[in-house]
Structure 1
Amino acid sequence: MNDFDDLVRQFLAAEKTAHVRPRWRSKGHPDFAESKMAVGVPESRVVGTVVMIAHKVRLPAKYSWSLLFRGKRILALDVNPSRSHKNLLRKGSVDCTHWQRWPTMDAEEDRREQNFTHWCLDFWKAANIVTTFAVLSPPRGVQLRLIVNEDFDRR
């Protein structure tokens, strides 16, 4: 195992804390919201970042959590992804909710149906993160309907 793999293993095993509630912001595309949160190992200078992304209008709801360490995605949860994930080491692909863990990042299916809060709590548990607050659900948008112009249809 190389040094970085060792650091990742230690970081994942260590209890991490977050003290500032993340705020949802519009991402580059108006249908998405993103929230970031710094997490750290107490009494250490070791830090990471949790990135949460939510699709505002898609049903079923689409969410993603990523734990980044030194810029690398080391733990991820994708709920109701829009594309399948092709595994590199395990044969096949996964097209449902899945977890990805360092070092392989191959998708592991999770067929449970839960709301945002329960997925968030499961991610905190898997990432060994303790918060002093509850994370607010992402903002929801409104799907725009196509307006039919009856005069146009008669032509």
Structure 2
Amino acid sequence: MSETTHTAATTRASGPGRLLVAVYALFAVAATGRSTVQILTRFEEAPLAYSLSALAAAVYIAATVALARSGHTSRRVALAACTFELVGVVAVGLFTLLVPEAFPDDTVWSLFGIGYGFVPLVLPVLGLLWLGRSHPRTPDAASSAPPSHRG
């Protein structure tokens, strides 16, 4: 691993990045537990809501692992997971607001994550900001080349 990549990966998993990973891990465990119980005990009551809770759990797991790991592939997975999560929270939030009868029970993303203090709405934004901040900056070849002297 190059020094730039190692530094970016270390930065991503340290300091505020470590807190971000911990919050994602907490949501992964909570959403997995909630959806598992819902699917195993009452799936027929709200199959769409409970399936979306399971999808949210899978996204939180993927984001947690990808944010905690180093490398370009993990960064891409983290970007995809955070982006998918943000789109999911907004889409499900709007859907539950506009068509509440389609959701006889809440999901993690219902009403933009209101049941979780809107953390599901804020978390992917923080994740994307953190990924942008911790992205390795490689100098352009033109700017790193020594100046040419004509004479």
Q: Do these two structures clear the TM 0.5 threshold for a shared fold by scoring above it?
A: no
Q: TM-score, normalised by structure 1?
A: 0.26
Higher strand fraction: Structure 1 or Structure 2? 1
Q: TM-score, normalised by structure 2?
A: 0.27
Higher Cα Rg, which structure: 2
More relative contact order, 1 or 2 (CA 8 Å, 6+ apart): 2
